[in-house]
Amino acid sequence: MSPARISRRGFLGLLAGTAAAGLTGCGASTTERSGALLTSRLPLPRPFTVPLPVPAIAEPGADGTYELVQRQAKLEIIPGTRTEIWGYDGTFPGPTFDVRRGKPIRVRIRNTLPVPTSTHLHGGVTPAEFDGYPTHLVVPPRLTGFDPGHSPHAAHDQSVWKLAAERFTHEFPLDQQAATLWYHDHRMDFTAPQVYRGLAGMFIIRDDAEDALPLPRGEQEIPLLICDRAFEADGSLRYPSLDPTLLKQPGVKGAHHQGVEGDAILVNGAPWPEKEVAAIRYRLRILNACNARRLDLRLDPPPPSGAAFVQIGSDVGLLGRPQRLDELVVASGERADVVVDFAAYPVGTRVVLRNHLGTGATRDVMRFHVTRRAKDDSAIPARLADVPTPSPAQAVRRRRFDFRLSGPGPHGKKWMINGLPFDPAGAIADPALGTTELWTLTSDFHHPVHVHLGHFQVVGRNGRKPRPSDGGWKDTVDVRPYEVVQILVRFTGYRGRYVMHCHNLEHEDMAMMANIDVV
């Protein structure tokens, strides 16, 4: 019997309660489920009936500082219905940052929401005080006097809390290569519902090395923030919080503690949109911003010749060389920077971007309509960037982290790392600045593992080579049930306290997080 089968049996034995019910629920096979489906209570639109929106570009104020006001807004997400969201500048997604390597920026967050927030630049090499640590909160005026001390994950040590009244200004040095990053809420215990309500946006870093390449640009470059949501009959966002005020008890109901998957797929905030394209190359910066849903993206129909996608970049930068793929697996938090050449299709073709892990309508993501020919000056060079070949011999230290549902402990069964729930007062590892470590990650379910500050390369999956889409510098890796994934992680930039966590946001909120002290 394979070790995987033994551990699976052990795992199902452990899951006698609610989670097992969801795990064996409808739809895709149990090992491919990455959350529990939440169904909308209003009729959803037909796919491909709304145009693809592209978020506005963030602009700095007169003093050179960007300001994002977190506020409530009512948007028409489902045609004919109003949905209240919590957004950066009242938009969902938030404005896209389009910034340059080596040009530091300041971003002031002003919180007018009914809850505290914390804002994290995902993929950023950021000093710890500006990284959006989960207990560093911006408290809105209406919650003056807010006492966070009730949190079950931090009740014992009050010193972990740092509260800013109404505003906080982040400084992002941006001393890192061109990449597709994103920013989102990171509040302790409530990240999942706060991102779900709209607190997420794209953050693009450019540099001279990338500008020198003939990659598609301008109109031929499109960010695609993909997420899933469910709606109540009145148009509001449906989410199974135990405490919908998000002020007291964290957590979600029943089987949803596996992760929340909505039945509406949104791209840049629009349900199953359509984009008209010319028969030329487009660079698509794909972000999986779903709380829990994994994506296995393909084009339908596939191009008559050539690969569907040419991957040029991963989470935190360009690949060394382009990688031709027909299938793109993107877990929560991961990015795939790809080029699609619509010249492969006759004008008039409608090409659907599908998620082969979805069922029914959630199998569709969006559609491209090839409407005309055009001149294309772009090309994909054979060499994109200098990415060193990872060598485990560089590792000065080995560590192992097991991502599992553990317990029962004092707070019942929880998603934990090495059997420990998140403790903001203690650290699970203390890598030295400037060194490389070899980490082994194991799991009992789908756990997209994300490391703050440290960027890594995947060096092995289950004792074999990584998969084709694992290449390049990453900050998040898709770890499937009973997989053993090895990464070579390098900590550069800053000393201080950072976190590592599962990017299934429900798991993150339910304690699957740990401090990493970079010393």
Report the interface residues with ligand C2O, using CB under 6 A.
120, 122, 184, 186, 333, 450, 452, 499, 501, 503
Q: How far is the CB of 84 from Cu ion (least distance, A)?
A: 27
Residue 89 vs 506, nearer CB to Cu ion: 506
Q: How far is the CB of 412 from Cu ion (least distance, A)?
A: 17
Residue 277 vs 502, nearer CB to Cu ion: 502
Rounded CA Rg of the chain: 22
| Region from 64-72, 283-291, 357-365, 450-458 binding Cu ion, contact rule CB under 5 A | 450-458
Q: How far is the CB of 460 from ligand C2O (least distance, A)?
A: 24
By CB under 5 A, name the one of 128, 226, 357, 502 that touches Cu ion.
502
| Region from 108-116, 163-171, 313-321, 446-454 binding Cu ion, contact rule CB under 5 A | 446-454
By CB under 5 A, tell whether 452 contacts Cu ion: yes
By CB under 5 A, tell whether 507 contacts Cu ion: yes
Distance, in Å, from the CA atom of 484 to the CA atom of 370, rounded to the nearest integer, reads 41
Residue 130 vs 482, nearer CB to ligand C2O: 130
Residue 504 contact among ligand C2O, Cu ion, none, beta carbon within 5 to 8 Å by kind? Cu ion
CA 401 to chain centre: 20
- Residue where the block lists tokens 């590592």: 500
Residue 320 vs 496, nearer CB to Cu ion: 496
Residue 257 vs 354, nearer CB to Cu ion: 257
Residue 333 contact among ligand C2O, Cu ion, none, beta carbon within 5 to 8 Å by kind? ligand C2O
Distance, in Å, from the CA atom of 181 to the CA atom of 172, rounded to the nearest integer, reads 12
Distance, in Å, from the CA atom of 219 to the CA atom of 374, rounded to the nearest integer, reads 12
Residue 447 contact among Cu ion, ligand C2O, none, beta carbon within 5 to 8 Å by kind? Cu ion
Beta bridge partners of 449: 477, 502
Q: Which of 254, 253, 357 is nearest to 22 (CA)?
A: 254
By CB under 5 A, tell whether 504 contacts Cu ion: yes
Residues between 118 and 157 that touch Cu ion (CB under 5 A): 122
Give 352's contacts (C-beta < 8 A, 6+ positions apart): 48, 299, 300, 364, 365, 366, 367, 368
Which tokens go with 242? 């135990």
Distance, in Å, from the CA atom of 484 to the CA atom of 219, rounded to the nearest integer, reads 41
Residue 186 vs 283, nearer CB to Cu ion: 186
Residue nearest to ligand C2O (CB): 122
Q: How far is the CB of 122 from ligand C2O (least distance, A)?
A: 3
Distance, in Å, from the CA atom of 248 to the CA atom of 190, rounded to the nearest integer, reads 10
Q: How far is the CB of 487 from ligand C2O (least distance, A)?
A: 16
Residue 272 vs 482, nearer CB to Cu ion: 482
Q: How far is the CB of 510 from Cu ion (least distance, A)?
A: 9
Please give the full DSSP string across 203-264, using - where no structure is assigned.
Answer: EEEE-HHHHTS----GGGEEEEEEEEEEE-TTSPEE--BSSTTSSS---B-GGGGG-EEESE
Helix/strand/coil percentages in the chain, nearest 5: 15, 40, 45
Residue 122 vs 238, nearer CB to ligand C2O: 122
Residue 187 contact among ligand C2O, Cu ion, none, beta carbon within 5 to 8 Å by kind? none
Check if the beta carbon of residue 426 is closer than 8 Å to that of residue 154. no
Residue 283 vs 414, nearer CB to Cu ion: 414
By CB under 5 A, tell whether 191 contacts Cu ion: no
Residue 501 contact among ligand C2O, Cu ion, none, beta carbon within 5 to 8 Å by kind? ligand C2O
By CB under 5 A, tell whether 447 contacts Cu ion: yes
Distance, in Å, from the CA atom of 118 to the CA atom of 163, rounded to the nearest integer, reads 10
Distance, in Å, from the CA atom of 122 to the CA atom of 120, rounded to the nearest integer, reads 6
Give 157's contacts (C-beta < 8 A, 6+ positions apart): 424, 425
Q: How far is the CB of 195 from ligand C2O (least distance, A)?
A: 9
Binding site for Cu ion (CB under 5 A): 122, 447, 452, 502, 504, 507
